[in-house]
Amino acid sequence: MKHLKVFLVLALIVITNSVSAQSTFDKWPAVKELHGVMSETFHPAEEGNLAPIKARSEEMMTKSAQLLKSDIPAEFRTSAILASAERMQMKSKALHKLVKSNGADAEIVKSITDLHDTFHEIVGLCSEPKQ
């Protein structure tokens, strides 16, 4: 019985996080667009395939810039989210510059991983309850 309760609590947490992320994507389409590029480049890079990020680093930079220029829902227009979105834009520019200058693969992986973490920071901040 104890294991069932633990399982149910964990399942509820996963569902709640999925619903929060989904509503963020619905409310702020620019985040959803950025997520598309992020997922299609980061996950291959995790596995050592850098071809997608090398081919799409400019697109990543553009989508990151569009995030700040987009119609940000009022509930997401907080100083923390805006600061994270600005970091996302700067880090994506640095990643693109690294790719274009034929930077070392290890540096590209480090850069896209940092960018991925910043993306998840934004989504997490969007999911936090507002005070």
pTM reported for the whole predicted model: 0.80
Domain assignment of residue 2, yes or no: no
Structural domain span for residue 84: 36-127
Would you state the structure tokens that stand for residue 79, as one six-digit string? Answer: 């100083």
Domain assignment of residue 29, yes or no: no
Q: Give the tens place of pLDDT for each residue, 33-92.
A: 999 999 999 999 999 999 999 999 999 999 999 999 999 999 999 999 999 999 999 999
Domain assignment of residue 47, yes or no: yes
Q: Please say if the pLDDT value at position 18 is more than 50.
A: no
Averaged pLDDT for residues 26-33: 94
pLDDT at 108: 97
Of residues 120, 101, 95, the one with CA closest to residue 45:
95
Query: CA-CA distance, 35 to 41, in Å (whole number)?
Result: 10
The total number of structural domains in the chain stands at 1
pLDDT at 3: 56
pLDDT at 111: 97
Domain assignment of residue 90, yes or no: yes
Is the Cα dihedral 85, 87, 90, 91 positive or negative? Answer: negative
Domain assignment of residue 7, yes or no: no
Query: CA-CA distance, 122 to 117, in Å (whole number)?
Result: 9
- How does the average pLDDT of the chain come out, rounded? 87
pLDDT band for position 23 (cuts 50, 70, 90): confident
Instruction: Write phi, then psi, for 12 (nearest 5 degrees).
Output: -65, -40
